[in-house]
């Protein structure tokens, strides 16, 4: 059996290695147009920022090491120019010599990945405008930074790569501005959770121009001028375009393979394309979202590796199936960690689901143990069924552990209420006896049983201030003096029982405290005394973070770049 693989990196290299482990006699040939067959794509920004200091650490395998271990023929600097399904051949060009030849196959695996999106704006090829996708891109940026010592940079795009590049350039001491078309960074998060990411970026001196569109680039003195729609142009020593990726599927299109979203390759759950004996995997394929069942594009290394493995299994006579992508991801934002899994509230509503959520801010470890930090958690579930849909966590220590636990629960199709039942590891340096994941489950169970009634940030504007409802803040007097929502009367929770006569019966009571815990206790007290009480999800701390961010985002959108 002869298997030809177009593209290396995650999907292609994974397929090649698995094929060899399953079939010692198969002839396996990989064509990779770059100079690197298997590299740490996600580590590229950290090489620019000197976190990863050795070039060779970016390359997981070389053609020589891959051949020595797996006897796979790796051809770098070779581009497949055409696929001929009828004759089961591919046309290949040696990019170094210009030589062209035909290669036959019994099975063909397409792992071309994705290319940086190139919007229709002028000046894309301007000197000192870079893109970041391959190892070669990284070396070009790193060499420019090392030789020219630039003082400023504009990053066009606020997704994961844009954020990581901005962080690493800022850590090098550069003045950095992110220009992002949408009014928030990274769409994995709802706007309220993205506010925490914005705050961390600003804290470290990164300027955010959110809701702004880059219109083009132009060489300017020794740097580049970045034109922003309806704003003054920005001047920087360099610019990096990181506005996303597009499936690289010209080969598939020309070969007559069925395509889907954004030109991605349509595959079934065995990773088979619409043409016999041709498989596809990685960033170039359309997948099913594990939560919604809808078609999706999810460009992540984990799914790509799994898909490559599944293809190898099936080529070797197995029957492996890809169950769909859940979109679990994690991001370092300076000192902070931001992670998500499943779908967020915004996506759930777009999908037509009736959703509810809990927002909590537990400590990363026991409160009495030194070093604990607050994390902000948002867990989204379906109303009525309590199907667990997704979660977002922004914080410091322990974020990765909690998001992986919830990701596993979603995969296992657990109900959100069952999070309370999980038996999770506990010791004071790592958690509390009631783990944050358990706490989310307790809250959702209370909602299911009618013990907890919530109100949310988006409800604030609808609350009447005509005396028909009671607005109550249960922070301490000192906390209240430091910050509160206008119109909310302060009665500290520990004084509430003695001051019930100050709260008129027959009116709904909307309650807030700093984190949502004491206001929940106040709700329970009032409910037992015959009041109808609602607790603000997330508390005043969450309200303050989100509303403060909204002010800065609108200032950026309406008046120019944040200072």
Residues with catalytic function: 42
Q: Where does residue 179 fall: left (phi above 0), alpha (psi -120 to 50 degrees), or beta otherwise?
A: beta
Residue 374 DSSP label: B
Task: Collapse the DSSP code of 520 into the 3-class scheme (helix H, G, I; strand E, B; otherwise coil) and give the result.
Answer: helix
| Beta carbons within 8 Å of 339's beta carbon, 6+ residues apart | 328, 329, 330, 331, 392, 393, 394, 399, 400, 402, 403
Q: How far is 166 from 378, CA to CA, in rounded Å?
A: 26
Q: How far is 242 from 334, CA to CA, in rounded Å?
A: 18
- Asked whether the beta carbons of 518 and 476 are under 8 A apart, the reply is no
Task: Decide: residue 487, CB within 10 A, 0-12 exposed, 13-18 middle, 19+ buried.
Answer: exposed
- Asked whether the beta carbons of 359 and 190 are under 8 A apart, the reply is no
Neighbour-count burial for 117-149, b at 16+ CB within 10 Å, e otherwise: eeeebebeebebbbbbbbbebbbebbebbeeee
Q: How far is 387 from 395, CA to CA, in rounded Å?
A: 25
Q: Identify the residue whose tokens are 């003045």.
A: 175
Q: What is the DSSP string of 310-337?
A: HHHHHHTT-------B---EEEEETTEE
Q: Identify the residue whose tokens are 């580049």.
A: 224
- Asked whether the beta carbons of 463 and 510 are under 8 A apart, the reply is yes
Task: Collapse the DSSP code of 532 into the 3-class scheme (helix H, G, I; strand E, B; otherwise coil) and give the result.
Answer: coil
Q: How far is 396 from 541, CA to CA, in rounded Å?
A: 17
Residue 118 DSSP label: -
Residue 42 DSSP label: G
**Which strands, in side-by-side order, build the sheet including 489-490?**
454-455, 533-536, 509-512, 470-473, 489-490
Task: Name the strand (E) or helix (H) holding 511.
Answer: strand 509-512
Task: Name the strand (E) or helix (H) holding 543.
Answer: helix 539-559
CA 479 vs CA 96, 148, 491, 512, 540: distances in Å: 68, 50, 11, 12, 10
């Amino acid at each position: 059996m002869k298997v030809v693989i177009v593209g290396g990196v995650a999907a292609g290299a994974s397929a090649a290695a698995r094929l060899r482990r399953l079939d010692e006699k198969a002839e396996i040939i990989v064509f990779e147009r770059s100079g690197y067959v298997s590299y740490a794509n996600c580590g590229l920004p950290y090489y620019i920022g000197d976190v990863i200091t050795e070039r060779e650490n970016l390359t997981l395998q070389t053609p020589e090491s891959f051949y020595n271990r797996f006897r796979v023929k790796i051809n770098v600097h070779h581009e497949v120019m055409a696929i001929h399904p009828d004759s089961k051949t591919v046309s290949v060009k040696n990019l170094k010599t210009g030589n062209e030849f035909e290669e036959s196959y019994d099975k063909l695996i397409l792992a071309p990945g994705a290319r940086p999106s190139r919007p229709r704006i002028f000046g894309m090829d301007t000197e000192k405008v870079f893109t970041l996708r391959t190892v070669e891109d990284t070396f070009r940026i790193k060499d420019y930074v090392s030789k020219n010592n630039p003082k400023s940079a504009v990053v066009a795009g606020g997704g994961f790569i844009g954020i990581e590049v901005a962080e690493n350039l800022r850590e090098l001491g550069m003045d950095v501005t992110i220009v992002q078309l949408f009014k928030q960074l990274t769409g994995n998060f709802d706007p309220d959770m993205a506010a925490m990411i914005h705050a961390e970026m600003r804290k470290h001196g990164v300027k955010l121009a959110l809701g702004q569109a880059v219109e083009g680039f132009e060489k300017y003195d020794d740097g580049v001028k970045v034109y922003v729609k309806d704003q003054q142009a920005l001047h920087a020593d360099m610019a990096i375009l990181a506005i996303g990726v597009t499936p690289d599927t010209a080969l598939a299109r020309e070969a007559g393979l069925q395509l889907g979203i954004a030109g991605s390759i349509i595959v079934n759950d065995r990773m088979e394309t619409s043409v016999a004996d041709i498989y596809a995997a990685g960033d170039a394929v359309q997948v099913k979202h594990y939560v919604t069942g809808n078609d999706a594009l999810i460009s992540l290394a984990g799914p790509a590796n799994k898909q490559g493995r599944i293809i190898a299994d099936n080529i070797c006579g197995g029957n492996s199936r890809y169950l769909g992508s859940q979109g679990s991801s994690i991001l370092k934002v300076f000192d902070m960690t931001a992670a998500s899994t499943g779908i967020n509230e915004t996506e759930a509503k777009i999908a037509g689901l009736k959703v509810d959520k809990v927002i909590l801010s537990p400590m990363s470890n026991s409160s009495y143990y030194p070093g604990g930090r607050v994390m902000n958690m948002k867990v989204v579930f379906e109303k009525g069924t309590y199907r667990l849909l997704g979660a977002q966590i922004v914080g410091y220590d322990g974020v990765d552990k909690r998001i992986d636990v919830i990701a596993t629960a979603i995969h296992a199709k657990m109900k959100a209420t069952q999070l309370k039942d999980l038996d999770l590891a506990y010791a004071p340096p790592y958690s509390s006896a009631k783990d944050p994941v358990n706490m989310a489950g307790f809250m959702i169970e209370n909602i299911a049983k009618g013990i907890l009634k919530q109100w949310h940030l988006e409800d604030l504007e609808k609350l009447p201030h005509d005396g028909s409802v009671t607005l109550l803040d249960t922070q301490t007097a000192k906390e209240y003096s430091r910050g509160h929502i206008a119109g909310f009367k302060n009665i500290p929770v520990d004084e509430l029982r003695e001051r019930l006569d100050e709260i008129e019966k027959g009116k709904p009571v909307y309650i807030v405290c700093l984190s949502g815990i004491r206001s929940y206790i106040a709700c329970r007290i009032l409910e037992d005394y015959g009041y109808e009480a609602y607790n603000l999800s997330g508390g005043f701390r969450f309200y303050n973070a989100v509303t403060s961010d909204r002010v800065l985002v609108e200032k950026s959108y309406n008046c120019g770049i944040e200072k």
